[in-house]
Chain A
Amino acid sequence: MSRCGGVLAALLLLPSVAGAQSPARVVGKVIDATTGAPLGAAEARLGDRRATTSSEGGFVLGGVSPGRATLLVRRVGYAPWSDVVDVMPGLDRDITVELAPLPLRLDSLTVVAAPGAISISGEQLMARGGDLGRALDGWEGVVVRRTGSGSPASPQLRGGGPDEVLVLVDGFAVNDPFTGRADLARLSSREVDRVTLLPGAQTVRAGSRAVAGVIVVDTRRAIRPEGSAWMAGHGARGVRAGASVGELGFAASSERYSDRFPYTVPEARGGGESPRLNSGGDAYAGSVRLEGPIEMTLRGSWADRGLPGTTTNPTPSAAGRDRTVFLGARGTGPLRWSGSAQWLETRAADEAPPTGLPYDSYTQGVGGTLEAGYRMSIRAGGWSGETGVAAEGRGDRFAGDGVQRGASFTQAALRWDASLHRGSATVWTLAPAARLDVWTGQGTPLVSARVDAGWQRGRTGLTVAFGSAVTPPVLADLLFREGVGVRLNPDLRPERVRWEAEAGVRREIDLGTLSARVFYGKVGDMVVWGPDFRFIWSPRNFDVVRRGGELSLGVRPAASLRLDGTATYSAVTYDIPGGAQVQYRPRVTYNASLVWSPGAWSADLRWHRIGERFPNSAGTNPRPAISILDAGLERSLGQAFSARVQVSDAADSRAEFIAGYPTPGRMLTATLTFELP
């Protein structure tokens, strides 16, 4: 009887067991808590399920295991929301999430993100380009400087140099500690969950190098096994893969660069067309990330590539080598801390250069950072939010024949910041911050400060900001070894944004979003390399004025169609009467893109124009404006696969951002991608 009873009980329980195994869905909508406006580009997570809201605020999380689980919703500019939801077997769970606009913290960076922060989702990035260098080029005024097929892709903002933009990936700076430049080409768009842009002087909150802005990259978590392989013209090809196992996330990639692509020979060299030799190479990269109370990141890269020289003095024998390993860890909570260590090695050699003697220059360096801070909630006079203090330290040491003997650098900083808000129908935000820096060779501590304020009512938001910034010269400017044609500048001073003011407005319209920003500031002692009358090059300081604005419009006239456009103007001129635009800083850029996704097919078109750049500080002999047109077609192949064909630089402009360094022109790329459902 007891055995029969057991069987009966098992039979009675069977439907519920079967039901427990039926996947359910969570269907939701995310709206602004103050205005009721739908919020696009918000992220909803439930366990390992993840979705991004449409412009109407909707999201669907499919394949959810029944039971109780925590739904987490977050969006830039809003306080994260979470709640426990009950999911019934085989049923849809409908939910509406109201997000409250707030100053918020993006990784290690506290910013007033509502409504001035600018972000782009990983999905949009993938339609723009396979790596972040291509995907971000042209977006919201970002100009990515490339000098060849495998050269570093360093972003520029608001007329700043490539070493004046700080790039944070999961809270850690990825700028090369020696050159100060970040290489966005090393980051696959598929690894990225979201990119947030904070233009302007941001060193107070973000740290050194953020003189022209910060690019904050959040990578994807809980990655299903996925990968892609691609082939392109001129021998370029690559593979990459990523996956998560529990708290561990992995990604790895291998790439071969284009070589022997045709370029237009300058008239001064006889004109016509010639193959660009010695421009290929191989690069490998890998990363491991551990999530949890203590997040850890391990990244490494290995690259060997040709250094083809300029088109006027090409060299078939020069080669470069880069190796780097990075380990970072951080803890969150009221007591926040982070630390990182990095090893890097570079080598450049040419046994038969077109001018001068053969060379073989080698540099090796180690560096580390430490940061600790405490944050707490505050409430006073109707304002609420949080405040915190932090201390930062950094040390670098280099050796080799490319740097001075005993080259080392240390830096320490203290930081205070707060982020406050008040109101409900009308939300006011205020975020003051101050910073004290001291470093090797800088006797007097340097103070910088910034305050951001915001106002939002209904679909309209306004921001204003005023502040200063300071950053030491990059170590490559301070510590290089003198040689033929290059001289140290022992009087080189830190770069300072003495003051900068900016204002912005953002308006949600029926079909999309319209935003505009303007800025004006004085930058003291900008470091610019240039030759003297004997063409001996040195880094020197110059006072410049920067001013301009950005105008963006994104519309979604239909669910399957998205149009975006940006126009930027950045006048960065030497602070003398009639001063010319600083060299290689385009004054204007335009970007327009279209994505049409009617079903299994998706088509995209992108046009990017970079205005004239001057190769010298005299404002003469401008390099012509560049227009680049990319087109792509993508098709889903079942549940797991998709195929994409892209034509880059369809008009075959063979863009040459820096004189003498052409990039491959028209190129066809075929990509096959899988992601396990």
Chain B
Amino acid sequence: MSHLRVIFSSAIAILLCSACADTNAPAPEPTEALLVVNSTANTLSIVPVEQPTAAVQVQLGGTTPTPVGVSAFGRTAIVPLGLDNAVAVVDLIDRKLARTIPLPDNSGATGSAVVDDSIAYVANPNLNSVSKINYQTGETAEVDVGPYPQGIVFARGRIFVLEGNLENFVPAGPSSVSILDPTSGTRVAQTTLTGPGNAGFGVLGGDGLLYIMNTGSFSEGEGRLSIVDPVNFNEVASFAGFGVGPGNVAADISSKVYVSSFAEGVMEFDTDANQVVRGAGNGVAIPSNSAVAVDSKGRIYAIDSGPCQGGRPGKAHVLDSALEEKSVITLGECPSGAITTQIPGE
């Protein structure tokens, strides 16, 4: 009898251990990836940062697409398709186009931000609105915002819509930021930025503040970086000195904000010192620098768009934190928007 009890107890113990083992098994490691929109190729490059040779390009389809930006959450990337007035939803694990969601006519969608595992916001610059989309179901709803919204940042539980204030592609005045409640889509606040207008790119810095690039006229050297408090919804500082046509911005986890510029290369701002470290005339000479991204290890990916024609691919120049080039990754034709993201393990 005692023998049977021992056996029974042992079996129970093994079962419990087994159950405990399953419950406590670590989740598969996520893969950190560089996502780059190749504009004229109309593809999304998915580049595992630790294994760049395993990069793939996902074709985004569409009819007359002009994609320039990407946002991501979990296994999903959102790529607005510009003139196609639609959004491509890419499954980053299956590495394929999952669906295409129509936006309102004449949307010209450019910027986007993903809120959670089903909701994303997309800016419709031609309609002065943003579309709240459920990328699982394809449902959309429109929210009116300020003039020419072209970028969106999701930070501190709020949607920050960067309103470029362009008329016929020329700045009509300073830009503004509309702050929306991501659940209801209602506008919580709006603040005006200092500077030349044409705000289109923003990033949450390591210090918790929002860094927004006011590109200004594409031909004038008037690029200006605005710093916005995402809690009090006001601009707290503005820095000039970013030259002609600065664009995409990225931040590392500490104190660096990097600014890409087709004319100047990669420029740098220090959020601790509140100063421009590398401004116009002192950028890292990256040819045709259309975008910049930073990974969790502080590596900087300076995107070189190349000629955007003739089938010549663009490149990502991988720089260390001292802005020394360490390697080069081949991308698709005309890479123009880039982020890094964590793709969950399968």
| A618 engages B311 (CB within 8 Å) | yes
| B169 engages A660 (CB within 8 Å) | no
Chain A residues with Cβ below 8 Å from B334 are: 531-533, 618
What is the minimal beta-carbon distance from B240 to any residue of chain A, in angstroms? 22
Q: How far is the CA of A516 from the CA of B308 in the complex (A)?
A: 37
| A659 engages B40 (CB within 8 Å) | no
The verdict on B66 contacting chain A, using a C-beta distance below 8 Å, is: yes
| B61 engages A621 (CB within 8 Å) | yes
What is the minimal beta-carbon distance from B138 to any residue of chain A, in angstroms? 10
Q: In residues 574-589 of chain A, which contact B (Cβ within 8 Å)? A: 574, 576, 578-580
Instruction: Indicate which residue in B43, B218, B310 contacts A621 across the interface (CB closer than 8 Å).
Output: B43
Chain A residues with Cβ below 8 Å from B43 are: 618, 620-621
Which one, B10-18, B82-90, B172-180, B181-189, is touching chain A?
A: B82-90
Q: How far is the CA of A573 from the CA of B60 in the complex (A)?
A: 22
The verdict on A270 contacting chain B, using a C-beta distance below 8 Å, is: yes
Which one, A103-111, A167-175, A307-315, A341-349, is touching chain B?
A: A307-315
Chain B residues with Cβ below 8 Å from A267 are: 61, 100
| A309: nearest chain-B partner, CB-CB | B64
Chain A interface, >50% SS class: loop
Q: A542-B310, A617-B311, A618-B332 are in contact. Are A268 and B85 (CB under 8 A)?
A: yes
| B288: nearest chain-A partner, CB-CB | A533
Chain B residues with Cβ below 8 Å from A576 are: 310-312
Q: How far is the CA of A269 from the CA of B108 in the complex (A)?
A: 12
| A269 engages B40 (CB within 8 Å) | no
Q: How far is the CA of A311 from the CA of B105 in the complex (A)?
A: 11
The verdict on A354 contacting chain B, using a C-beta distance below 8 Å, is: yes
What is the minimal beta-carbon distance from B136 to any residue of chain A, in angstroms? 17
Contact-residue size bin, chain B (C-beta under 8 Å from the other chain): 35 or more
Chain B residues with Cβ below 8 Å from A534 are: 218
Q: A618-B38, A620-B332, A621-B43 are in contact. Are A268 and B84 (CB under 8 A)?
A: yes
Instruction: Indicate which residue in B40, B62, B64 contacts A617 across the interface (CB closer than 8 Å).
Output: B40
Chain A residues with Cβ below 8 Å from B66 are: 531, 535
| B64 engages A312 (CB within 8 Å) | yes
Chain A residues with Cβ below 8 Å from B39 are: 531, 533, 535
| B314: nearest chain-A partner, CB-CB | A533
Q: A269-B85, A313-B83 are in contact. Are A616 and B42 (CB under 8 A)?
A: yes
| A659: nearest chain-B partner, CB-CB | B63
Q: How far is the CA of A312 from the CA of B106 in the complex (A)?
A: 8
Q: In residues 489-544 of chain A, which contact B (Cβ within 8 Å)? A: 528, 530-535, 540, 542
What is the minimal beta-carbon distance from A354 to any residue of chain B, in angstroms? 5
Chain A residues with Cβ below 8 Å from B68 are: 535
What is the minimal beta-carbon distance from B286 to any residue of chain A, in angstroms? 13
| A357 engages B310 (CB within 8 Å) | no
| A535: nearest chain-B partner, CB-CB | B66
| A268 engages B62 (CB within 8 Å) | yes
Q: In residues 206-259 of chain A, which contact B (Cβ within 8 Å)? A: none
| A621 engages B311 (CB within 8 Å) | no
| A529: nearest chain-B partner, CB-CB | B309
Q: A268-B102, A617-B309, A617-B310 are in contact. Are A357 and B168 (CB under 8 A)?
A: yes
Instruction: Indicate which residue in B57, B81, B336 contacts A533 across the interface (CB closer than 8 Å).
Output: B336
The verdict on A84 contacting chain B, using a C-beta distance below 8 Å, is: no
The 6 closest A-B pairs by CB, nearest first: A618-B41, A618-B333, A268-B86, A530-B309, A533-B305, A574-B311
The contact sample of 14 A-B pairs, CB cut-off 8 A, is A268-B65, A268-B85, A269-B102, A310-B64, A312-B62, A530-B309, A535-B68, A535-B82, A540-B309, A574-B311, A578-B311, A617-B309, A620-B57, A621-B60
